[in-house]
Amino acid sequence: MEPENPAAGRAQLRADCSACFGLCCVALPFARSADFAVDKPAGKPCTNLGADFRCGIHARLREEGYSGCTVFDCFGAGQKVSQVTFGGTDWRAAPERAGAVFASFAVMRQLHELLWYVDEALGLRAARPVQRELREARDRIDALSRQDADGLTAVDVNALRGEVNALLLRTSELYRADVPGRRRNHRGADLMGARLRGADLAGASLRGALLVAADLAGADLRRADLIGADLRDADLRGADLTGCIFLTQAQLDAARGDTATRLPKGLKQPSHW
């Protein structure tokens, strides 16, 4: 059984703001901090959201104190809810449905994130032993994402995440099994500000690790598992992330790097590096 091409199924999992009614700018809350200039409760439109559902300061988000917006990825949930779940009817035109729209978006975003990871796993040759289970998981999640608003908001996302994570963990173990040498296990570790410059982390598990402001300059992260790792302000200058798995563009965007940082296929160098 041949692995699948991840790019083939990811078009629907990439954000298309032109087809979305600014849902991330309304549905989600944020607190005044280094990432956001002001407080905003869930369900209240950001003051920068225009009548056309575009961000009025999109080109200046970092300069205006909204760096948190630059590292958010809905994985295509915004356009799915806007155009499929609610058939192109926006929350301003139908304010009585706004609550359902925002609640659906919160669930859809998590479903699409799971689809992103499963899709990547299906593209790994080492995942052949669990490919059937991965396909079944993908089809099940996709079906859940195509329900109406009532069906979406009834999904037990935590239970689903637990089931899918078991498959992704097995995939990770299969993928990293033949990495030579000692494979470090830092799953869920608090490595905030850790001095890991030049560290050998090839094939390491960094699942859910707290790596905020960690010094990973020049580190060997080849074929490491970075699912859910918090890389905010982590120094990745000169680091080698070739072949690492379950790393998202949003994670990279939250980190610091340079032209010497080697990235896995499918991800691009953030413009602020």
Exposed e or buried b for every residue in 193-232, given b needs 16+ CB within 10 A? ebebeebebbbbbbbebbbbbbbbbbbbbbbbbbbbbbbb
| Distance separating alpha carbons of residues 240 and 219, to the nearest angstrom | 6
Whether residue 9 is predicted with pLDDT greater than 80 in this model: the reply is: no
Identify the band that residue 8 occupies on the pLDDT scale cut at 50, 70 and 90: low
Q: Which CATH superfamily is domain 181-273 in?
A: E3 ubiquitin-protein ligase SopA (2.160.20.80)
Q: What pLDDT score does 181 carry?
A: 85
**CA angle 219-175-131, nearest 5°?**
145
Question: For residue 245, which phi and psi values (nearest 5 degrees)?
Answer: -120, 155
Within 13 Å of residue 135, how many CA atoms lie on the same side as its CB? 10
Angle at 193 between CA 195 and CA 185, to 5 degrees: 70
Residue 97, SS3?
helix
Is the pLDDT at 1 greater than 80? The verdict is: no
pLDDT > 70? residue 242: yes
pLDDT band of 5, cuts 50, 70, 90: low
Q: Which of 11-15, 38-42, 121-125 has the weakest average pLDDT?
A: 11-15
Q: What is the mean pLDDT of residues 130-145?
A: 98
Per-residue confidence at 10, pLDDT binned at 50, 70, 90? Answer: confident
Average pLDDT over residues 29-48: 95
Q: What is the pLDDT of residue 11?
A: 80
- The residue extents of the domains of the chain are 9-28+72-176, 181-273
pLDDT in tens, 48-86: 999 999 999 999 999 999 999 999 999 999 999 999 999
Average pLDDT over residues 254-271: 95
Each residue's pLDDT tens digit, 181-214? 888 999 999 999 999 999 999 999 999 999 999 9
pLDDT in tens, 146-160: 999 999 999 999 999
Q: What is the reported pLDDT for 218?
A: 98
* Gyration radius (Cα) of the chain, Å: 19
CB burial string 71-100: b at 16+ within 10 A, e below: bbbbbbbbbbbbeebbeeebbeeeeeebeb
Q: What is the mean pLDDT of the chain?
A: 95
CA distance 189 to 209: 5
CA distance linking residue 30 with residue 250, whole number of Å:
17
| C-alpha torsion angle, residues 65, 35, 192, 204 (rounded to 10) | -110
